[in-house]
Amino acid sequence: MLEYSLFLGCYIPAMQPFAESSMKAISKKLGITLLDINGASCCPVPEIARLVDEDLWLTVAARNLSLAEANGRDIIVMCNGCWESLHEAREKLVESSDLREKINGNLKGFGLKFNGTIKVKHYTEVLFEDVGLNVIKSNVNVDLSWLKVALHPGCKLYKMSDERGANYLREIVKALNVEIVDYGFERVCCGYPLMLYSVDKAMRERTKWKLDVIKNSGANAIVVTCPACYDQFEKAQLTFKDEGLEYGIPVLHLSELLALGFGIKPESFGLNTHAISTENIIGRLVG
C-alpha cells in the first residue's frame, strides 16, 4: 500500500468537492491510502503571500508541512499552486539552517517544528512514478477512445525539472486510451495569476485565447491538474456565455477522467454537478 498525507488546499474543499471525491475513488482502485492533515490551512497562495511577506509565506507553509510530518508520510497535492508553494518553501528551509531556525521560532507559538522529513509530490508524480502506468492501465475498463481532450498542464507543472509534470499528465491520459488534441497553446497560462491584477484582462487576453483555440480543435473537454485552472476556465466560459459567446467545453480534473476510465459512476463523485454541463460525456457513458 502507498500512503500519503492529502493536501487539498482551498479551492477543492470550498468549491470543487468532485475533485476530492474522484481522487479518493481512484485511490482505492490504485492501492493508495490518503491521510487527512488535521488543521491544514491555505498553502498559502504564492502569488500573494510570498510577494507581500516572504517570512509569512514560509511560516504558513512550514506550519502545513509540520502538520503533515506528524503523519510520517509524504504530501500528495492536487493543486499546482499548492505544490509550488509547499515544495519551494520546503526546499528553502531544508537548504538553510539559519532560515529554518528563524521560521521554527515563529512556529513555536503553534507548538510545531519543521524538520524536513517528508517530501511534497504533485499527484501526477505519484501516479506516474509511484503507482506506474501499468497499474493505471490494468484498472481501465471503460472505452474512452471516443473522447477528445485538450490538456492544460498549467504553468506550475512546467516548473518541475525536465517539465516532467506536464509530460506525466500526457502519459497518464494516453494510458486511458483517450484522444489527445494538440492545439498549440498548451504552455499558455490559463490566466488565473493575472486575475489578481485585472479580471477582464486575464479572461480576455489569456483564458479566451485558449478557449478559442481549444474550441476550434474539436476537443470534447479540457483536462486540468489544478483547481485554480479549473476555476478559471469555468468562470470565463460562464462570463462569456452571459455576453452571448457560447463555448460549452466541460472542464475535468485528471482524477475525474481517471475515475471515468476506471468505470466509477459519474454521479458518485459529482461529475454531474459541474457548472459547465458534462451531460454529453455522461450520456455517452450510460447511453
Distances in Å between the alpha carbon of 159 and those of 32, 165, 167? 26, 8, 12
pLDDT of residue 24 exceeding 70: yes
Please compute the mean of the pLDDT values over residues 201-209 and round it to a whole number: 93
- Give the cell for residue 170: 500526457
Q: What is the pLDDT of residue 51?
A: 79
Specify the CATH number of the domain 134-286: 3.40.50.11810
Q: Which residues of 123-161 are buried (b: 16+ CB within 10 A; e: fewer)?
A: bbbbbbebbeeeebeebbeeebeebebbbbbbbbbbebe
Residues 6+ apart with CB under 8 A from 29: 139, 262, 264
- Measure the CA–CA gap between 278 and 259, rounded to whole angstroms: 14
223-263 pLDDT, tens digit each: 999 999 999 999 999 999 999 999 999 999 999 999 999 99
Please compute the mean of the pLDDT values over residues 11-31 and round it to a whole number: 97
- Measure the CA–CA gap between 17 and 6, rounded to whole angstroms: 14
Q: Which fold has domain 2-124?
A: Glutathione S-transferase Yfyf (Class Pi); Chain A, domain 2 (1.20.1050)
| Range scoring the smallest mean pLDDT among 46-50, 120-124, 193-197 | 46-50
pLDDT of residue 215 exceeding 80: yes
- Give the cell for residue 80: 499546482
- Measure the CA–CA gap between 26 and 156, rounded to whole angstroms: 24
Please compute the mean of the pLDDT values over residues 116-123 and round it to a whole number: 97
| Range scoring the smallest mean pLDDT among 40-49, 106-115, 121-130, 273-282 | 40-49
Does residue 208 contact residue 190 with C-beta atoms inside 8 Å?
Answer: no
What does the domain layout of the chain look like in residue ranges? Answer: 2-124, 134-286
Please compute the mean of the pLDDT values over residues 20-49 and round it to a whole number: 94
155-180 pLDDT, tens digit each: 999 989 899 999 999 999 999 999 99
Does residue 78 contact residue 23 with C-beta atoms inside 8 Å?
Answer: yes
Q: What is the pLDDT of residue 287?
A: 60
- Measure the CA–CA gap between 259 and 97, rounded to whole angstroms: 43
- Measure the CA–CA gap between 270 and 22, rounded to whole angstroms: 8
257-280 pLDDT, tens digit each: 999 999 999 999 999 999 999 999
Instruction: Place 196 in a pLDDT band, splitting at 50, 70 and 90.
Output: confident
More confident residue, 196 or 81: 81
pTM for the predicted model, two decimal places: 0.96
More confident residue, 285 or 143: 143
Chain centroid to CA 208: 21
Q: What is the pLDDT of residue 47?
A: 76
pLDDT of residue 35 exceeding 80: yes
pLDDT of residue 49 exceeding 90: no
